[in-house]
Structure 1
Amino acid sequence: MISLWRGGVLLLLVLGAGGGAHAAEEPASAVVEENPHDWLQRMVMASQQLNYDGIFVYQYDHRLDAMQVIHAAERKGERERLFSLTGPRREILRNNDQVVCILGDQEVVHVNRSRPRSGFPAPFPGDTARLEKYYRFELGPAARVAGLDCRKVVVRPRDAYRYGRKVCIHVDTGLMLSSELTGVDGRPIERMMFTSVRFPDRIGEERLLPALSDAGFSWKREPDMPEGGQGRSREDSRWKVVRVPAGFELMDHRWHRLSAHEPGVEHWVYSDGLASVSVYIEKAGQEEDSYQGATHRGALNAWGTTVAGHYVTVVGEVPMQTVELIGKSVQARLQ
């Protein structure tokens, strides 16, 4: 079985899963839309316009974790603090595109740059109508979450290569109050739900500072420009991904390292506009002769193999058959 921690894969996914909201503008107005795309667009806009401070629960694999998120928007951009209330003491701090992850149980601090995202906790594009070829969008009934009125929107996949989603959007502000990731059969794989949330006019500076002391912790910083990364394109790579499900397109391709002292990893990101899959390729260690298998954590699936002396790991919040399909198609180019 592949460890999700290999090469910092799980850390990268945790850092890529965060998001935020913005308070420099007025919150989205409480207009009653009857089109699911309008509701989702309000949700995306609200995630860029609101201050909020809330506690939510996250359920997956028969586990239930509690976390708190504090988000503030300033003229210079967004800041956010996300920290665990159960289990290991961990915090994630975001200042625009810089992300600091403090792992109290491991006494490690990771610093890296995040890709743009469209909102905590589940990313949606601003224009969901263009996804109709691969998903069906339905407006569900009214509901209540954390004592607040919300409206459900259901997103159903049209094939078995992607998950569905159910979200409940706050009527007054547009903030997403709950979400479910569902399989093709409609059954929930993981759930997130606010148990309390407030929308203060201002978030104090002290609320955005970490409670964990990093004294004595080891620091791992992602270099701004990995060695050999500048000027290299997909055509420079010795690798090619031959097959991806319909609708998935290459969104990002780069070489990077989690620290200046670690070997480089080639990273490919494919997305259909809602779901995304990462392909990591790194040189295999001499001590490991084989590297193949599958594992999962909630909706997160990972599949790995060894190709031409390199580890290939495919990870994403998509069904296992999707990461396996992509992983088996990775080939070394003929030199």
Structure 2
Amino acid sequence: MWRLLPRDTRLLIIVVGVCWLALPVGAVDSGQERSSLELLGRMAKALSEREYEGTLVYLNGHQLSTLRIAHRIDGGQTRESLLALSGPIRAVARGHQSVTCVLPDARAISVPRHPASAATLHSGALDIERLRSHYLIHLLGRSRIAGRDTRVVGIIPRDDLRYGYRFFVDEETGLPLKTDLMDSAAIPIEQVMFTEIEFLEEADKQALVSTPERTRPVAALSAQTATSTTPADPSKIVDAAPWHFTALPAGYRLVAADPPRAQAEAQVEGGRRWFMISDGLSTVSVYVEPDQEHGFTGYKRVGAVHAAGRLVDGHQVTVVGEAPLPTVQAIADALRTQP
């Protein structure tokens, strides 16, 4: 009987089962769908406008980490810092133009800031109509996170090319206080949850989580901000020349690339490029650089993140993202140089 049910129906049943919440009595109707879409829209708005700091836990498999986060909006731009409270001392500062990581040995690494995925609680516009083509979106009930009331929305993939999500959205502010990233069986792969959070209405907007003195970066490398088009506007085309993507996985498309200045520098430096592929929720990054003698080929996995590497016309192509392996592999195989 179970195997005779449509896949979408089985996934929805699993999601409801593993989430200890109780669904409201009654069938899921168009009104409930509208409510779930409105909740997602409110969440996206809150992520781009709200300032906060707090403590969160990150669970990946059997590995649990505790982090301190501070999130500010400065002139419409996001600034954020993360400090590990458990394990080796680590810190990440995400600014307007770059992301700086401080490692346990006090080394600092700065890289260009690229858009983040939905599972990491970062801001970004959600293309609701586009999501509906590839995900089922339903309200799953209510819960309490960090002592606050939340409404839970499930985003369930219609195929095996993307992961699913559960967002526990704060009823008062619209911020997601917990995010579950789920596999095709609706089993959480990664979970991020606030244990306490403070919303900063009048707080000092210059204050970020302080980094211990012995781990402060000794230098910060300048980086160009990656430019992107709004996924909801298909009329905008991202320039990938001299590269192009052939058939991408269903629902995925090129939404961002290096800014023009970085593209010009890439030609001088031998063709280093970066692209972002997205289905409107899941994101995958593609890195292209001149082939080194011992380049990465094949596939690797760390938690929900898959990586694929291959050689294309004398260049090392590395594809990394929180997406199933077949999706990452297909994106890697789709990259070509223009004839």
Length-normalised TM-score, structure 1 = 0.76
- Partners of 1:262 and 1:197 in 2: CA distance: 44
Residue 223 (structure 1) shift: 5.5
Q: Secondary structure at the match of 1:327?
A: helix
Residue 81 (structure 1) shift: 2.1
* Contact map agreement 2:47 2:124 (CA 8 A) in 1: no
* Contact map agreement 1:33 1:39 (CA 8 A) in 2: no
TM alignment of 1:118-137, pairs within 5 A: 121-123=121-123, 125-137=125-137
Runs of 5+ consecutive residues of structure 2 not aligned to the other structure: 1-31, 227-237
- Partners of 2:173 and 2:110 in 1: CA distance: 32
Q: Cα deviation per residue 1:193-228 (whole Å; 9 max; x = unaligned)? A: 111112233333673164244667354333579xxx
Runs of 5+ consecutive residues of structure 1 not aligned to the other structure: 1-31, 226-232
Task: Tell me whether 1:103 sits opposite 2:107 in the alignment.
Answer: no
TM alignment of 1:132-143, pairs within 5 A: 132-143=132-143
Identity between Structure 1 and Structure 2 (%)? 31
- Partners of 1:142 and 1:224 in 2: CA distance: 38
* Contact map agreement 1:139 1:153 (CA 8 A) in 2: yes
Q: Secondary structure at the match of 1:129?
A: helix
- Partners of 1:224 and 1:200 in 2: CA distance: 27
Residue 263 (structure 1) shift: 6.3
TM alignment of 1:229-308, pairs within 5 A: 234=239, 236-237=241-242, 239-254=243-258, 256=262, 265-286=272-293, 288=294, 291-308=296-313
Residue 281 (structure 1) shift: 1.4
1:190 is aligned to: 190
Task: Tell me whether 1:81 sits opposite 2:78 in the alignment.
Answer: no
- Partners of 2:304 and 2:172 in 1: CA distance: 30
* Contact map agreement 1:91 1:210 (CA 8 A) in 2: no
Residue 283 (structure 1) shift: 1.0
* Contact map agreement 2:286 2:319 (CA 8 A) in 1: yes
**Partner letter of residue 248 of structure 2?**
V
Task: Tell me whether 1:311 sits opposite 2:312 in the alignment.
Answer: no
Residue 315 (structure 1) shift: 1.0
Query: Aligned pair in 2 of structure 1 residues 98, 236: CA closer, same or farther (>3 Å)?
Result: closer
- Partners of 2:142 and 2:208 in 1: CA distance: 33
2:233 is aligned to: none
- Partners of 2:224 and 2:34 in 1: CA distance: 47
- Partners of 1:123 and 1:72 in 2: CA distance: 11
1:222 is aligned to: 223
Query: Aligned pair in 2 of structure 1 residues 76, 140: CA closer, same or farther (>3 Å)?
Result: closer
- Partners of 2:121 and 2:68 in 1: CA distance: 12
Query: Aligned pair in 2 of structure 1 residues 195, 330: CA closer, same or farther (>3 Å)?
Result: same
**Partner letter of residue 103 of structure 2?**
G
- Partners of 1:118 and 1:319 in 2: CA distance: 14
* Contact map agreement 2:189 2:303 (CA 8 A) in 1: yes
Q: Secondary structure at the match of 1:88?
A: coil
Residue 128 (structure 1) shift: 1.6
Query: Aligned pair in 2 of structure 1 residues 200, 302: CA closer, same or farther (>3 Å)?
Result: same
Query: Aligned pair in 2 of structure 1 residues 234, 78: CA closer, same or farther (>3 Å)?
Result: closer
- Partners of 2:88 and 2:146 in 1: CA distance: 25
Q: Secondary structure at the match of 1:89?
A: coil
2:63 is aligned to: 63
